[in-house]
Structure 1
Amino acid sequence: MSFFPRKILLAADRSEESRLAVEAAADLSKETGSELHVVYVGLISPWVQSNTLSPTQYRRLRAEAQEVLDEQVRAVESLGGKVTQAHLRMGRADSEIIRLGEELSAELIVIGSRGQHTISRVLLGNNAESIVRHAPCPVLVTRKDR
């Protein structure tokens, strides 16, 4: 990897923390001339396997996820960023983001973190922590001021 990443993967949702990640990724890609890929992962609960959903349920979830992805692409573009490609994934956010980072040979992943407390992390998991631990490249984590 060069000093500046040539390929950035932004994982974004509708959260305030994600808005900060969108701003950071848009700025970084503009300043460095990096490719910017945006991913949104539509959640399929770990307690419900995608093959147990009806085709109608799965299509509805996927359509809702596509709306969020489209919003995030528009947010990047409104900041003057240029999205190379948008990616929609379904499943566990951390696994899908890591997998896409590997597939793209991303040199930086940008995510927002809600900074959950210990008990929430134990019960719900923490996507940011998992991504930082298992990502194939450096990870920039943005957080809202407390």
Structure 2
Amino acid sequence: MLYKRVLLAVDLTDESIKVANKAATLCSSLGAELIIVHVIESLNYAYGGDVPIDITDIQKQLQDTAKERMSILQEQLDINIAETCVTQGGIESEIHRIAEEKQVDLITVGSHGRHGLALLLGSTANGVLHGAPCDVLAVRVQKEQ
């Protein structure tokens, strides 16, 4: 079997279900396990170091909201999900870390493809591709007009 474990990295926007459905269909057809991850970018990381205020409550709120949205996403999928994970840190590095830790064969990400030099993939998908310990599938996502 080509892919036994698939890691689906989602941003939990409304478009996430499109990417999730593709990953679920792929897993169903291959008999692969699906692991879903969402990374909350740490505010310290996003702003390059020290934030001069206590952000503990904000981070907790982001975590709670992400877990709620992850549950909704899980309910929308017609597949058994092996595991879900909401984590915090640098998006690409956390996805790489979890992919290695869970020994996945494929990382699936959504690609908006709208940003400057990363026009083909989108900045996050491009970052995941470089340094990934396995294959990466970028699923094209477009907002409804």
Which bin holds the TM-score, normalised by the shorter protein?
Answer: 0.7 to 0.9
- 1:73 and 1:135 map into 2 onto residues whose CA distance is 25
Q: How does 1:86-125 map to 2 (within 5 A)?
A: 86-118=84-116, 121=118
- 1:127 and 1:91 map into 2 onto residues whose CA distance is 13
With normalisation by structure 2, the TM-score equals: 0.82
Tell me the amino acid that sits aligned with residue 137 of structure 2: L
Is 1:75 the counterpart of 2:76? The answer is yes
Q: Unaligned regions of 5+ residues in structure 1, if any?
A: none
The 8 Å contact of residues 112 and 142 in structure 2, kept in 1 or not, is answered as no
> For residues 11-58 of structure 1, what are the alpha-carbon distances to aligned partners after superposition, in whole Å with 9 as ceiling and x for unaligned?
112242x33211111001111111110111123231065886443222
Q: Unaligned regions of 5+ residues in structure 2, if any?
A: none
Is 1:31 the counterpart of 2:29? The answer is yes
Q: Relative to structure 1, is the Cα distance of residues 35 and 114 closer, same or farther in structure 2, using a 3 angstrom cutoff? A: same
Aligned residues: 137
> For residues 83-118 of structure 1, what are the alpha-carbon distances to aligned partners after superposition, in whole Å with 9 as ceiling and x for unaligned?
000111112221211111111010001110110231
Q: Relative to structure 1, is the Cα distance of residues 27 and 44 closer, same or farther in structure 2, using a 3 angstrom cutoff? A: same
- 2:21 and 2:29 map into 1 onto residues whose CA distance is 12
- 1:94 and 1:129 map into 2 onto residues whose CA distance is 9
Counterpart of 2:82 (choices 67, 78, 84) is: 84
Identity %: 27
- 2:60 and 2:50 map into 1 onto residues whose CA distance is 11
Counterpart of 2:127 (choices 121, 126, 130) is: 130
**Counterpart of 2:130 in 1: which secondary structure?**
helix
Match of 1:57 in 2: 58
Deviation at 1:144, TM superposition (A): 3.0
Tell me the amino acid that sits aligned with residue 144 of structure 1: V
Moved more, 128-137 or 40-49: 40-49
Match of 2:5 in 1: 7
With normalisation by structure 1, the TM-score equals: 0.81
Deviation at 1:132, TM superposition (A): 0.8
- 1:11 and 1:50 map into 2 onto residues whose CA distance is 27
Segments of 4+ in structure 1 off by > 4 A?
Answer: 48-52
